[in-house]
Amino acid sequence: MFGKKSIECPAGQWTTVIRSRFAQMPAVWEVRLRTEGGGEVAGEFEETKSKWIFPGRPVTGQLRERLTFERGYWNTFYSVRVRPRYHVTAEMS
């Protein structure tokens, strides 16, 4: 509907790539990470979901070139942030 959104993510720093507040409907985001020159995508992500007003525990994982994130019902507050080992550009659709 709105096209792709791109965010620059500096190496070694946490960058929020998805943040939604006061939303209670499911949503799915496809995230594609790319480095300049086609180098390796490495680092970590942190996904945090709430259940209405009760905070959730962050879930962590390793960055890959393509990631899918899902916000479920009642995830009123939802965020995903990444910390790449090398500078990457995140494209969401």
Domains in the chain: boundaries: 13-85
Supply the pLDDT for residue 1: 44
Supply the pLDDT for residue 86: 94
Supply the pLDDT for residue 7: 97
Tens digit of each residue's pLDDT (9 = 90 or more) over 8-64: 999 999 999 999 988 878 999 999 999 987 789 999 999 999 877 788 899 999 999
How far is 90 from 80, CA to CA, in rounded Å? 12
pTM for the complete prediction? 0.88
Supply the pLDDT for residue 51: 79
Do 18 and 92 form a contact (C-beta atoms < 8 A)?
Answer: yes
Largest alpha-carbon pair distance within the chain?
43
Please calculate the CA angle 2-65-9 and round it to the nearest 5 degrees. Answer: 70
Supply the pLDDT for residue 2: 53
- For the record, the structure tokens of 5 come out as 């959104």
- For the record, the structure tokens of 82 come out as 């990444």
Evaluate the CA torsion angle 18, 23, 24, 29 in order and state its sign: negative
